[in-house]
Amino acid sequence: MKKIFLLTAFALYVTFAVNAQVTVGSLDNPSATLDIVGDSTDATKPDGLLPPRVNATQLTAKTAYSDQQNGAIVFVTNLPAEYTPTAGTKTAKVNKPGYYYYDAGKQLWIPINTGASWYYLPSTMIDVRRKDPVRNDTLDIFNAYMEQVAQTNDWTGGSPQSANFPKHTIHNYHQRGFTIKSSATAPYISEFLTWETALTRDQFYYYVIGFDERVFDKDKFQLADTGADAGMLIYQVIGNADDATFINIIIAKK
């Protein structure tokens, strides 16, 4: 009897080693490395796959992640009161509950997004004077954007009056990732999404989606979204600008 048992155990080991695929919840042959089959006929049994669940503070405290954990997935359950995302740390982008995967190359926990975050570049001064001879001008889109974000602080006490805080401005702040909260006196900006200050210039895409063709040469635009030149717009002015002159730029988080 002992010989039969050992033989059976050995056969099972060989089967798993050769097949290297497993089905959970069914005796059917697996269709992938791990094939999990739910029980759709029993409404009393919950189906699903549960990854490790930790809060943001607990995830920040874990220092063992390296190349071996590239692609690891966790679910962040909550952000404790003492937690603050900090630039330069692995959890710099952990700013809300949800799924995150570990990118070993960037040494960051990256949110598994349900949609892209994009923003219009806020109103920015740009040189549209004609040059003789015509030559390239530059606009640092990333710096122009981040400077406006950095200059907007929490307004507590002495909140601006509603008349000085028009609806289109509130809309622009929403587009830029700010949260608008109301106080007893007037609306004010209480916080902004911390990933905006944690990201670097090459972690955005930049797009010119419209411009005044009377003023800008459509064939001379150059705009990179990688490396040290990411967010640097090169353009040429070929005509006289007026009050109708425009250029529309969108920034999208990668």
Domain identity same for 187 and 87: no
Query: Does the pLDDT of residue 23 top 60, yes or no?
Result: yes
Same domain, yes or no: 156 and 225: yes
Q: What is the pLDDT of residue 101?
A: 94
45 part of a folded domain: no
CA distance 225 to 204: 7
Both 81 and 123 in one domain: the answer is: no
Q: Which residues contact 44 (CB under 8 A, 6 or more apart)?
A: none
Q: Express as a percent the part of the chain with pLDDT over 70.
A: 70
Reported as a single tens digit per residue, the pLDDT across 97-146 is: 999 999 999 899 998 875 656 777 777 788 888 877 888 999 999 888 77
124 and 67 in a common domain? no
Asked if 95 and 139 sit in the same domain, the reply is: no
135 and 246, same domain (yes or no): yes
Does 89 map to a domain?
A: yes
Q: Which domain holds residue 104?
A: 53-111
Q: Residues 156, 237: one domain?
A: yes
Query: For residues 149 and 192, is the Cβ–Cβ distance under 8 A?
Result: yes
- How far, in whole angstroms, is CA 78 from its chain's centroid? 18
pTM: 0.47
Asked whether residue 164 carries a pLDDT value surpassing 60, the answer given is no
Give a yes or no: residue 194 inside a domain.
yes
Picking from 111, 143, 177, the residue at the C-terminal end of a domain is: 111
Same domain, 137 and 234: yes
Q: Tens digit of pLDDT for each residue in 69-93? A: 999 999 999 999 999 888 889 998 8
* Count of structural domains, the chain: 2
20: left (phi over 0), alpha (psi -120 to 50) or beta: left
